[in-house]
Structure 1
Amino acid sequence: MDEQLLDEGAPGFRARAGWTREQASGIERTAETVAPVFYPPETDQMPHLHIWDTWLLRERDGTPATVDGYRVCFSLTAPSETLPGARHDVATIRLFYSADGRNWTDGGPVFESALGQRQWAGSALYDDGDVYLFYTAAGDEAAGELTYTQRIVGATGGRIDTDDGFELAGPWTHHELLSPDGERYEREDQSRAMTYTFRDPWFFEDPETGETWLLFEANSPVPEGSAACGGDATQQGFNGSVGIARSPTGDPLDWELADPLLDAVGVNQELERPHIVYRDGLYYLFVSSHLHTFGPGLTGFDGLYGFVAEELRGDYVPLNDTGLVVTNPANAPFQAYSWMVFPHDGELLVQNFFNYFDFAGETLDEIAELPESEQLRRFGGTLAPTLRLGVEGSRTRMLGKLGHWEIPMADESLPPTERELLSRAATDDSSGYGLN
């Protein structure tokens, strides 16, 4: 990145870098950021399930793991008869595996029992044959009613056996790893926001330093009347941050809280599922966020947002000036959510889930006004087409898409994009389509 770009970074509230209202005020749909319209798959691979937040089993260096020829992913799931809006209250982590990256098999629930009343998103590490599964324990299992307490948990003991098909089995041991300290990261009893967040753990080993980190979504405690909100009390609850913890030993179960990586005080309340892709010497930080979590006076979309820095704990600046990387088209504003980026064949691929289609309401709240049968019909509840993303420095652009559930194998080349095919035709005199 050039020095001029670095100068555009902004200090955060309690983080080294911040997403500012000035930057976010420029968010708009462009040809480079709008995904194509998605349609339901011809065949639903998992008709018995609602499937949403999904993450791949990855090696320590961040690349998707291939275990004896299998791709492996984990998803939040609920029975398909569950009303979509209630699915988070009964979420269970299930395993899926594939020998070709297109056709997937349901490996069933990962845990017989786990911490929390239900489990929310996380990440998975494959380390010398051992599987570590990081997840969010949502709710107090000792409470008599549904609660929204959130803790970050690591589960160990999983091993993959491919001698006779595919099996991931324990016994699993669950370790509570992190909880908010109330100073750098807001506790639930401190929260003034519409929702409370301390969740979505994501393992990352820095290729430059070898240090081991765990990213997570959080909120920054903002004192009443803070200058960070310009004295505007209505902005105080919009205090999303990307939290981070460091392992002093490299042990995936040994973590110490550190200052936030980036925050969005006064801008956005939820920076969901933070994760980093290291590419060309740069650190690309991605988060998902919603239309309704932007602060007063700002307009954003359900979308993938991103930032880039020259160091892991560096001066992050928003991609494409505003932070917007991918969003849904205006006529299908909620067709996909929960984007997860990973490198493949010189590009970045973006896995996401098929959310509400055939719906162009102004907010997702309008879904609840529909008959239950319509809520179920319009919810995709499966993996969406995988998106292709070009990245250069601080700019990104949409390149196209693959199929629903398509996660290419490690040695698989991507097909040419439409733009590449047109370029080849324009320069190939023998094709009959040359421009010379």
Structure 2
Amino acid sequence: MIRKNKKALSVLALAASIAVTGFAAPHSHAESGEQTVNWTREQVSKIELNEDNTLPYTDISKLDKMAPGYHIWDTWPLMDRDGNTASVKGWKVIFALSAPNDVLPGKVHDIATIRYFYSKNGKDWTLGGELFPKGTALGQRQWAGSAMLDGDKIHAFYTATGPEGQPQLTYEQRIAAATGTMVADKDGVRFENWDKHRIILLPDGKYYQTVEQAKQGEGGGYAFRDPMWFKDPQTGKEYLLFEGNSGGTASQRQFKPEYAGSAEYLQQHPVPSGAVHANGNIGIAEVVGGDLNNIKLLPPLVEANYVNEELERPHVVVKDKKYYLFTDSHINKYAEGLGGPEGMYGFVSDTLIGGYKPLNGSGLVLANPSDNPYQAYSWLVTPELNVVGFAHFGDLGSMSIGDVGNQSPEFQFSHFGGTLAPTVKLSIDGDRTKIERILPQGWIK
């Protein structure tokens, strides 16, 4: 929800800073040699829905329920250590957040559990069950992550949300991992012999906001979640990407001209002071020497200070020796004075770290149609450029997503998808992308 407009920041007060600082250039972290790029207000202002980025209307009421008895949403495939979609004895595997389908859609995140599915053809999926034995995963519930297969060992990364054992629901987020064994035979797939789950990453308060820092400001969100495995084909180094927020409290977050863009844009578009609450970023951590017990936080790849408060499920696809960094965001997560659709966004660079520029000028890669703005979400691009997402809310008319919880249970259930959406085939040419065609529901080629 867009916050009530407050007094705009004075352009005159920024003039001296503008003259010294410049605009939209990456700022370097000298102690690490890494670079962080700003996604600017000026770039976001160029967002425009067109035939290359707008999904066709989907009647989600006609989609097949992939897991009878369950809602499913955020989904990710099993990958091998090099980042390819894994296939073991002909079986492909996907994982998804899930909850019983008698739970109201707005409550599913409060009890989310990871379940897995397997398939020979990548279209017809069989529910395998819960990924982890009951009571072994960390957190009050588990949110999205990734899974990497090395031989017959599966390394599962996920978000442990809320401290386990506490009766009161909380939103503290930690990145957790566990290692097990994958068994595949003619009858299907199962996972066993899990080791003890462990927390592998926590926010540092400097580059990545802690939950305590987030609580010290009115408005804004909090995120430290969605770990995604990635191996850099150029260097062989291994990483985890994740969603975070820039460190510090709102009162410590000083506006910088490079958050806006060019001097001309800033002069014409003063920044509302309420935009301070938007501090989303895309984080990265190095798996030092390939040791999953030695993971080092690095400065973020992209920051969206004064622009957007949530850059969800970040992941990288390499094509033509370029790095394509994708992320998802909601309509109601833009900073005050900005707007954008429920969509998937992206950036491109010649290297994994540093130099990212928004795809298509604005960053928008695909979006729901304006007449069905919440029909799908949580998109993830596979190495084959197939985009997997889930069916969210359809045919809400003039309602916003925030209005849904005020409707009857019957209305909520009838308008909620809770299943995989049609897969989208994406094409990429340099810094431009295009929706090529729509594939069958839940298809992972």
Change (3 A) 1:9 1:64: farther
**For the residues of structure 2 that align with 1:44 and 1:362, how far apart are their CA atoms?**
24
- Which of 358, 365, 389 matches 1:352? 389
TM-score (norm 1): 0.88
- Which of 120, 128, 136 matches 2:143? 120
Q: Does 1:305 align with 2:345?
A: yes
For the 8 Å contact 1:12–1:262, the answer to whether it is kept is: no
Q: Does 1:187 align with 2:210?
A: yes
Q: What residue in structure 2 maps to residue 258 of structure 1?
A: 298
Q: What residue in structure 2 maps to residue 224 of structure 1?
A: 252
Change (3 A) 1:299 1:379: same
For the 8 Å contact 2:91–2:188, the answer to whether it is kept is: no
For the 8 Å contact 1:12–1:263, the answer to whether it is kept is: no
Query: What amino acid is the match of 2:122?
Result: G
Change (3 A) 1:42 1:259: closer
List runs of 5+ in structure 1 lacking aligned partners: 1-6, 409-436
For the 8 Å contact 2:118–2:188, the answer to whether it is kept is: no
For the 8 Å contact 1:341–1:350, the answer to whether it is kept is: yes
Q: C-alpha displacement at 1:225, in angstroms? A: 5.7
TM-score (norm 2): 0.86
- Partner SS state of residue 173, structure 1: coil
User: Quick check: 170-179 or 378-387, which moved more?
Assistant: 170-179
**For the residues of structure 1 that align with 2:139 and 2:322, how far apart are their CA atoms?**
36
Q: C-alpha displacement at 1:368, in angstroms? A: 1.5
Q: Does 1:173 align with 2:196?
A: yes
Q: C-alpha displacement at 1:127, in angstroms? A: 0.8
Query: What amino acid is the match of 2:401?
Result: L
For the 8 Å contact 2:24–2:40, the answer to whether it is kept is: no
Q: C-alpha displacement at 1:252, in angstroms? A: 3.0
Change (3 A) 1:19 1:362: farther
Query: What amino acid is the match of 1:384?
Result: A
For the 8 Å contact 2:91–2:184, the answer to whether it is kept is: no
Q: What residue in structure 1 maps to residue 131 of structure 2?
A: 110
**For the residues of structure 1 that align with 2:27 and 2:74, how far apart are their CA atoms?**
28
CA deviation map 1:299-326 (0-9, x unaligned): 1011000000000012100000000000
- Which of 400, 410, 414 matches 1:377? 414
Q: Does 1:79 align with 2:82?
A: no
Q: Does 1:320 align with 2:333?
A: no
Q: C-alpha displacement at 1:12, in angstroms? A: 5.4
Change (3 A) 1:75 1:35: same
Q: C-alpha displacement at 1:141, in angstroms? A: 1.1
Q: What residue in structure 2 maps to residue 392 of structure 1?
A: 429
Q: What residue in structure 2 maps to residue 56 of structure 1?
A: 77
**For the residues of structure 2 that align with 1:238 and 1:200, how far apart are their CA atoms?**
19
**For the residues of structure 2 that align with 1:273 and 1:234, how far apart are their CA atoms?**
25
List runs of 5+ in structure 2 lacking aligned partners: 1-21, 30-34, 261-270
Query: What amino acid is the match of 2:255?
Result: A
Computed over aligned residues only, the root mean square deviation of the Cα atoms, in angstroms, reads: 1.9
Q: Does 1:196 align with 2:222?
A: yes
**For the residues of structure 2 that align with 1:185 and 1:233, how far apart are their CA atoms?**
22
**For the residues of structure 2 that align with 1:188 and 1:310, how far apart are their CA atoms?**
34
For the 8 Å contact 2:275–2:337, the answer to whether it is kept is: no
Give the structure, 1 or 2, with the largest relative contact order (CA under 8 Å, sep 6 or more).
2
Q: What residue in structure 2 maps to residue 405 of structure 1?
A: 442
Q: Does 1:368 align with 2:408?
A: no
**For the residues of structure 2 that align with 1:183 and 1:269, how far apart are their CA atoms?**
17
For the 8 Å contact 1:303–1:326, the answer to whether it is kept is: yes
Q: What residue in structure 1 maps to residue 382 of structure 2?
A: 342
For the 8 Å contact 1:10–1:20, the answer to whether it is kept is: no
**For the residues of structure 2 that align with 1:36 and 1:225, how far apart are their CA atoms?**
39
For the 8 Å contact 1:12–1:19, the answer to whether it is kept is: no
Q: What residue in structure 1 maps to residue 26 of structure 2?
A: 11
The percentage of aligned residue pairs carrying the same residue is 43
